[in-house]
Structure 1
Amino acid sequence: MSEAKPWLRHYPSEVAPTYEYPKHNLARLLVDTAHKFPDRPALYFLGKTLRYREVLEASYRFANALKELGVSPGDRVSIMLPNCPSAIIAYFGTLMMGGIVVMTNPLYVERELVHQLSDSGATVIVTLDLLFDRVQKAKAQTPIQHVIVTSIKDYLPFPKNVLYPIKMKKDGANLAVTYGDGVYSYKKLLRAASRAPICVDVEADEDIALLQYTGGTTGISKGVMLTHTNLIANTYQTSHWCYRTRLGEERFLGAIPCFHVFGLTVLLNQSMYRAGMLILIPKFDINLILDTIHTLKPTIFPGAPTMYIALINHKRVKEVDISSINVCVSGSAPLPLEVQERFEALTGGRLIEGYGLTEASPVTHANPIWGFRKIGSIGIPFQDTDTKVVDSDSGQELPIGEIGEIIIKGPQVMKGYWQREHETAMTIRDGWLYTGDMGRMDEDGFFSIVDRKKDLIIAGGYNIYPRDIEEVLFEHPAILEAAVAGVPDEYRGETVKAFIVLRPGMTLTEKELELWCRERLAAYKVPRKVEFRQSLPKTMIGKVLRRQLLEEEKIV
């Protein structure tokens, strides 16, 4: 067994290589925990605490309200909210009545909104008063029939709930909502709905729980069909990997958005499964994060590298106590070594790099948290997850150490793309998910991502992987953030361009950077072009948008 799967040698004794995953409605994560621990704090939001029984009752009310509106099992319900209690309640309520959740990024502009709502066929959207205008403009071009409007103030404690609208108006925000004609107040809807328990039976392997749209960084955004089994399996896998977590005692710092599948599984689902307290942060505000860690002592902090970079470089980090943090799982982008080392030194906790993709619910690999790990690798495959490195064209498995496409098989792998049979057939072949990521496996079964197949730079016949160069750039003491992309070049076909954000107060010239790189990289990998910038374009969870950098390049 360990010959074919060398990674099993490095499983901690507390983690079994295989588990049984229950075949039931994903919403049972909340139902079961609320029955066992009704008075434990489930959610904390800007000063207000909701207990498990309160979240459960509100979710039942939401499920019954959807039924009253005529929503049927299998109908799609869009949730366009930041991290706030209404988002969690709408999520579980939709699942309870058999609906399919469509997580929608609150930053979406009208065009993106129209695409996602039309493609998914969502008939209901739950959104904020702040976003109401944008939703209303898009609504006519979509199948949406019902708009349920909540507000940040709905779950703020007194006097914050009174002061919030005053402050927002002062800041020029439009909180006006015209109710009626298919537009409902979330609070009134819940108040009028039955609190009768409801959690429909599902065919867990077949029924879709979530339509999660891919970020669209590699073309048009596609709906990934994740079943109840997919999401339950990945929640269990993640939870068993964090085997030292204590039932009912952990506090999860919810800085990563729950509308992103990483936040949904590692944060929301895992917190509910482990009877934790989920501290909801509606947007990434570094001062709020520092204050929250200092006062509420969270123990688990899933995030993206940019979050940890912001934390360790903040001037206040030495003034506050962040030692409560025991476990951080970093996903969505490569984790620079320097960031990992500094973060662990500051907290005394463990920051490990993992890997996943929307199509796998999302986590497939991680470094052991407390066992043997390899810095710079994405770790080893999760329980019940098989992984190979293959030649992209032939599908032939490659020898240890050779670079090829990473393919994955496991209970967390999606059912397919929503209404896109051709793309599904291209991506899932013989049960294997072709990730589009290039990587290698070493003799211990640890995997490293070299880069996305689509991000590969071919310059003068050489294959260049941006991540190799970014690692070197991150080591420079003056560099805060860096991204590398291939730009057109008449002679080499493509050439390497580095986009650099400097640390405050630091200076660096192109010549100095070139000398630094030449000492650490093969000549053909050294960036030929450098652009110093104030910031890099990113997704909500901190993944750098290389495509946007390249589009800006074309405009110039």
Structure 2
Amino acid sequence: MSDDRQPPARFNAARYCLAENARLRADKTALILAGEAGPRATLSFGAVDRAVRGIAAGLLGLGLEPGARVMIRMGNEADYVLVYFGALAAGLVALPSSPQLTPAEAGFLMENSGAAIVVAGADCPTDPDSLGGCLRLGPAEIAAMKAGPPLDDYAETGADDPATLVYTSGTTSRPKGVLHAHRAIYGRRPMHAHWLGLRESDVMLHAGTMNWTYTLGVGITDPWAVGAGTVLYDGPRDPAVWPRLIAAYRATLFAAVPSLYRQILKYADLAAHDLSSLRHGATAGEALPVDLLKAWTAATGKPLYEALGMSEISTYVSSGPTVPVRPGSPGKPQPGRRVAILPATDLPVSGEPEPLPPGETGLLAIHRSEPGLMLGYWNRPDEEAAVMRGEWFAGGDLARLDAEGYLWFEGRNDDLMNAMGYRVSPNEVEGVLAAHPDVAEVGVAELAVRADVRVVCAFVVLKLDAEADATALLAWCRARLAAYKCPREIRFLASLPRTPNGKVQRKRLAEAAAAP
């Protein structure tokens, strides 16, 4: 008996999202890139399919071998999406990256991934010295590819062939690459019905930027997989703009992080806009506070459905049309997912770990048979082995399942921080601050500034005779780190709390800063 949870052996993610749409609904709007004063670009499924296959042919015409990495370093523009799917269509590996990265950070990704191509937007300068043997393509080259002869068909890739390389903060001082196969897009199907409630007639408005996997997945890939259209925004990030966009484009679904929903409630005039088209909102990237859930539903009369996921597998626990919201819980494992709570201990030498019963806290794990699970960490076999417990992947989240199957998140089993939905390694931030000439020691951790708001904070011990200048230290970070990685607060300490073995106790940093 076939397993419909698994994709066919020969499977191309770009073909899955575009080929049938181009055949059945070529003239339907696939993507609107909205600007402050109206649409900046509007593309039909037929136009997207043609452009994607043109870019794929152009990339292969450069002599790239299957699996070669194509780094995308662009802002929120339509070509970002087209290049992303063009790489997949050609059997290459797309490497989406943030335009906020400094040249040094981008250079690390190029070098670490062994990227053959970097596609750079006009607003994303690339340091020539950081390119090495990597070829840079700009807007003119991509325009020529789009207009050139397209591939006759999408590459005949296997479901397990590499498709996407996403860099995320790890437990070391440098980001690590998460390598996904083409099957990962097929593995998103349970969230369509059980979190998003996606329909072909939907219009998805996503508030994220294109480099984020939340946006590429929920904002583009998922709607296209069912023949729905999507709206993204390239304009000033005023929270009041989102209700206006919902009304203007008759969006039926809206996706954002919880903090943006809170800003909309605070700064937007919801009553001034017709939100009748909106069926519900979706949220991920951060935990959804109970008071925010209540405030949003009271103000709009629309449900708000939460999901829990990670770069290694996307979202796999959610509330939604089939799972009633339970405030404080992100929901239940989506039907078809094999999810368990495992003891938070090392795996025995032999045998499989025994899942914990309902009510007990342990490591949240998902079975390796899940088609959405990553292929592995790029060139980091030790870290890859560390997250496997027999046949289970456990990424470090602590949680428990109640008797009715709802999941309750209990934090991280390591020190990774969550800043505006991005996972940020304290090691990376500490490495930057430790290089400042006035800094003797530094520890970085989350700091609660309000009941439901946590920010990245650096706890600094200064060198003798150095002056406490938080503004200068923050500027130092901004010059060397993407904006979402930068500390929002600097606290000065006489010494850092340490274990008897000398290891910094990050969980005690805030306590040490508050002590008289």
What TM-score, normalized by structure 1, do the two folds share? 0.71
* Distance change >3 Å, CA 74–CA 36, structure 1 → 2: same
Which amino acid in structure 1 is aligned with residue 338 of structure 2?
D
3-state DSSP of counterpart to 2:261: helix
Task: Name the amino acid aligned to 2:174.
Answer: I
Distance in 2 between residues matched to 1:551 and 1:142, nearest whole Å: 34
1:367 equivalenced with 2:319 (yes/no):
yes
Structure 1 partner of 2:272: 319
Deviates more, 1:119-128 or 1:394-403: 394-403
User: Counterpart of 2:510?
Assistant: none
Query: Aligned to 1:35, what secondary structure does the other structure show?
Result: helix
State the AA in 2 paired with 1:436: G
AA paired with 1:26? A
How many residue pairs get matched? 433
Within 5 Å, which residues of 2 pair with 1:293-442?
A: 293-360=246-313, 362-395=314-347, 396=353, 397-409=355-367, 410-442=370-402
Aligned partners of 1:369 and 1:484: how far apart in 2?
34
Match of 1:185 in 2: 141
Corresponding residue for residue 226 of structure 1:
180
Q: How many Å apart are 1:285 and its aligned residue?
A: 3.5
Letter in 2 for 1:329: A
Preserved contact between residue 93 and residue 165 of structure 2 (Cα < 8 Å):
yes
| Match in the other structure for 1:201 | 156
1:219-255 superposed Cα distances (whole Å, 9 cap, x missing partner): 4211101101122212x122132574321x1111132
For 1:444, which of 404, 428, 441 is the aligned residue?
A: 404
Q: 2:18 aligns with which of 18, 30, 51?
A: 30
Q: Give percent identity, aligned residues only.
A: 23
Q: How far off is 1:287 after superposition?
A: 3.7
Where structure 2 has 5 or more consecutive residues not aligned to the other structure, the ranges are: 348-352, 418-444, 462-473, 495-512
Q: Distance in 1 between matches of 2:43 and 2:150?
A: 16
Displacement of 1:350 after TM fit?
A: 1.8
Q: Is the 8 A contact 1:356 1:364 kept in 2?
A: yes
Q: State the match for 1:67 in structure 2.
A: 60
1:109 is displaced (CA, Å) by 0.6
> 1:232 and 1:471 mapped to 2: Cα distance?
40
Q: What SS does the corresponding residue of 1:401 show, helix, strand or coil?
A: coil
1:548 alignment partner AA = P
Post-superposition Cα deviations, 1:191-218, rounded to whole Å, max 9, x if no partner, equal 3x2134230111212x111001114586
Post-superposition CA distance 1:399-431 (Å, at most 9, x none): 322222211122211111011111111112323
- Match for residue 423 of structure 2? none
Residues 94 and 554 from structure 1, CA distance in 2 versus in 1: closer, same or farther, beyond 3 angstroms? farther
1:261·1:358 contact (CA, 8 Å) conserved in 2? yes
In structure 2, how many angstroms separate the alpha carbons of the residues matched to 1:109 and 1:144? 19
* Corresponding residue of 1:54: 47
Summarize deviations over 1:163-204 as a string: whole Å, max 9, x none: xxxxxxxxxxxxxxxxxxxxx53223433x213423011121
Contact preservation (8 Å) 2:162, 2:181? yes
Residue type of the partner of 2:7?
A: Y
1:257 and 1:541 in contact (8 A); partners too = no
In structure 2, the CA distance between the partners of 1:471 and 1:35, relative to structure 1 (3 Å rule), is farther
Asked if structure 2 preserves the Cα contact closer than 8 Å seen for 1:27 and 1:95, the reply is yes
Moved over 6 A (4+): 469-472, 484-489
1:318 positional shift: 2.8
CA distance in 1, matches of 2:108, 2:361: 36
Compute the TM-score of the two structures, normalised by the length of structure 2: 0.76
Match of 2:209 among 236, 257, 262: 257
**Compared with structure 1, are the counterparts of its residues 438 and 237 closer, same or farther at alpha carbon in structure 2 (3 Å cutoff)?**
same
Whole-angstrom CA distance in 2 between matches of 1:370 and 1:387: 18
Unaligned runs of 5+ in 1: 1-16, 151-183, 458-465, 475-480, 490-532
In 1, Cα distance between the equivalents of 2:79 and 2:198?
27
Distance (Å, rounded) in 2 between the aligned partners of 1:82 and 1:309: 25
Distance 1:424 1:394, change over 3 A: closer
Q: Do the aligned partners of 1:97 and 1:198 also contact (CA within 8 Å) in 2?
A: no
Q: How does 1:271-290 map to 2 (within 5 A)?
A: 271-282=223-234, 284-290=237-243
Paired residue type of 1:269: T
